[in-house]
Chain A
Amino acid sequence: MTSEVAGPAEAVAISPAADPGFLQRYGGTIEYILIPGAALVGALGVFGIFVALFGKSPLDLYFYMYQGAFGTWFSWQNTLTRAAPLILTALCTALPAQLGMVIIGGEGALLIGALASTSAALAMQWAPPLAVQLAMAAAGMIAGGVWIMLSGGLRQYRGVNETISSLLLVYIALAILNHLVEGLMRDPTSLNKPSTREIGAANMLGSIPGTDVHWGLLFGIVAAVASYILIYHTVFGFAARVAGGNIRAARIVGLGVGKLIMTICFLAGASAGLAGMVEVAAVQGRTNANLAAGYGFTGILVAFLARQNPLAVIPVAILLGGIGASGGLLQRRLGLPDASVQVLQGIIFVFVLASDALYGRIGFLKGKS
């Protein structure tokens, strides 16, 4: 990842005609928008052919996808609600990627974060709601952060592959969750659906005013923007990217690589832990097996599609949220099976990965030098 990434708004503000060096300066940014965009269009085209093979009209398909995801105010809210947890879990993969680490265990941090925030809420039933919510957020973030630090520590100090360890930690997290929910933390009245006690209606996070979308969306956007600033506009972020580019060079220039790894892993896990807190405080109201809904795994997809750029995570999460939202309509109107949405996600993934080869090879974007 290079430092020439700039916000899209900046690119629009400067007219190409007024600045002859425009392409030179912003060609990279345009590439980052144009290439994934083209990959998306290509993927939708292939998916249209796939659907046509099943005897359904691709035009109907695109129409329903648009309607289900963005066509009405309700559809927009549906999309944004689905996107909210994905932004946070995607950061769990995107942040360590700056250091060249592939962490795929966001699901585990989410579950542990949910457990910790539920425990905090249950222990603080006497406190005013705001204090409970803050304690939940803190507990969720710390627990999730420590969880991913385990992977970072294993990698840094024991040479264990962080991809494998973070994935295995997901299963451990799920086992811990099931063990506590079915044992120590079980609400005795939850007979056939083992769950913890409820955190209480007063302690629930509401919706963003005027919408149905819970506050998790805003938390995600804030976290993504903060991560972007941290990575691209601070000394710490620069050091992280140096270490990600060449870890030996980073050591030679005296960067504390161990500290960088642990900090970034903590922040990554804290994002996913916050997603777990939001799922408890805004959706489920308690912890049970429902929380293992796969947001952590979809987050990996979001991070890779966003090419690990924390800012790009936001639109990509909304895109995948939209695909999820329209998936229901595809089932109901076109009679397509649920798996068709996964087929589409898979096609998009392949197209975006394949389009990686195009960067720096599009002649007209290079500008004159």
Chain B
Amino acid sequence: MDFGRISRRHLLQGSAALTLGTAFGGRTAFAADTTIGFIYVGSRDDYGYNQAHAQGAAALKKMPGLKVVEEEKVPETDAVEKTMESMINLDGATLLFPTSFGYYSPHVIKMANKFPKIRFEHAGGLWTDKDPKNAGSYFGYIDEAQYISGIVAGYSTKSGKLGFVAAKPIPQVLRNINAFTLGAKLANPKATTQVIFTGDWSMPVKEAEATNSLIDQGVDVLTCHVDGPKTMVENAARRGAMVCGYHVNQSPLAPKAYLTGAEWNWEALYPKFVKMIAAGEAIPNFYRGGLKEEIVKVSPYGEAVSAEARKHADDIKAKLTAGTYTIFKGPIVDNKGKTVIGAGTERGQKDAELEKMDYLVEGVIGATS
């Protein structure tokens, strides 16, 4: 491989040919050997956030004419800028997937300005109209899948106590905790969710401590929102508790204890993006969706899930997939007694108010600060 001779001139020729129009919706099909770069903040076999993206990358590898290059454990510093540049300069990548939330600002924006002919697709849903047009940011309403997990958890708990190991009290995490709890209350109106915040995305020791502490307090079904659910899943299963997964399907880690889980469906989305580019369609810069748009999915039910739970969960899942169901429908009261969504108000999937969520709903034991 003589990439040593890839000079700026070659790069310009190559990128001119490849991206003439791809970024701006012109008509060009993918030439053979198009290179796509994937960048992960953690290890790509973490049974979590990064693995979900790596599964998406694996789906692209199966498509003809595509070459996928991957780099893992890239921190959210100028190191990721250099990795992107390196993929562009040395590998000839024309489409990049920097998959960590913290890569976007300032790093992806900076590189998108520097390389206007390269397409950047970032996971996080952060694009605004001030940002470069060759950058895009997509994300999924995974709270829909958490809602289904909540229903299953509500049927499966014997103590009525559910546990949630969470990273930080930020809107995306709070929305998952609230959706999970609202789902559980459909099945069991008395169910409570006890939440423990570990403070950061990857804190295996604290996650294990939180899991044990929740189980010690009588929690018998747990879920989480951290980068790597592996710690929680394995510890909970060892202690005899049931689990609902997150990010990817963790049932191989705990086949008996795994009820269901909220998963990303990047392996459906990424090939779709690539086909859109090849067909000359523009990918919207801000791209979000849920079960209906196949950006998120629910893990297959484990053997411990009752027929009643399956039926109820499938019913709601069908409605969410059809787009006829609203999770955050008033009246919703937070766990301090304040009405946060009034009676008669429906906050649908794309409602901007939900992006600012700063409360925990009634039934959640815990505080946001």
Contacts and interface: CB of A to CB of B under 8 A. Distances in A.
Interface stretch (A67-75, A97-105, A247-255, A348-356): A67-75
Contact of B82 (A71, A81, A193, A288): A81
A96 interface: no
Contacts of B238: none
A67 B72 contact: no
Nearest to A178: B199
A94 B348 CA distance: 57
B212 interface: no
Interface stretch (B85-93, B140-148, B325-333): B85-93
B77 A284 contact: yes
Of B78, B85, B356, most buried by chain A (CB within 10 Å of CB) is: B78
A290 B73 contact: no
A193 B101 contact: yes
Given A67-B3, A82-B82, A192-B171, A290 B75 contact: yes
A49 B102 CA distance: 37
Interface string B200-227: 1000000000000000000000000000
A81 B77 CA distance: 11
B335 to A, nearest CB: 20
Contact of A279 (B4, B77, B89): B77
Contacts of B231: none
B90 A74 contact: yes
Interface string A174-196: 00001000110000000111100
A68 B72 CA distance: 16
Nearest to A188: B356
B188 interface: no
A301 B171 CA distance: 38
A173 to B, nearest CB: 14
B334 to A, nearest CB: 18
A193 B123 CA distance: 13
B168 A194 contact: yes
A95 B351 CA distance: 55
Contacts, number: 87
Interface in A280-300: 283-285, 288-291, 293-294
A271 interface: no
Nearest to B356: A191
B70 interface: yes
Nearest to B72: A338
A293 B75 contact: yes
Contacts of B3: 67
A328 B86 contact: yes
Contacts of B170: 191-194
Of A67, A183, A285, A332, most buried by chain B (CB within 10 Å of CB) is: A332
A269 B124 CA distance: 36
B69 interface: yes
Tier of interface size on chain B: 35 or more
Of B4, B105, B172, B355, most buried by chain A (CB within 10 Å of CB) is: B105
A211 interface: no
A309 interface: no
Contacts of B369: 183
Contacts of A333: 1
Contacts of B43: 337-338
A293 B79 contact: yes
B199 A192 contact: no
A81 B355 CA distance: 36
A291 B75 CA distance: 9
B189 interface: no
A72 B82 contact: no
Contact of A78 (B69, B76, B85): B85
B1 A328 contact: no
Contacts of A284: 77, 106
Given A71-B4, A284-B77, A285-B106, A325 B82 contact: yes
Interface in B344-369: 355-356, 369
B4 A332 contact: no
24 contacts: A67-B3, A67-B4, A68-B86, A68-B90, A71-B4, A72-B89, A78-B85, A191-B356, A193-B101, A193-B102, A193-B105, A283-B106, A291-B77, A293-B75, A293-B77, A324-B79, A325-B86, A328-B71, A328-B83, A329-B90, A331-B71, A332-B71, A337-B43, A338-B73
Interface of B: 1, 3-4, 43, 69-79, 82-83, 85-87, 89-91, 101-102, 105-106, 124, 168, 170-172, 199-200, 355-356, 369
Given A293-B79, A329-B90, 8 more contacts: A67-B4, A81-B82, A193-B105, A193-B170, A283-B77, A290-B102, A325-B82, A333-B1
In the A-B complex, the 6 residue pairs with the closest CB atoms: A338-B73, A290-B76, A332-B69, A293-B75, A78-B82, A293-B77
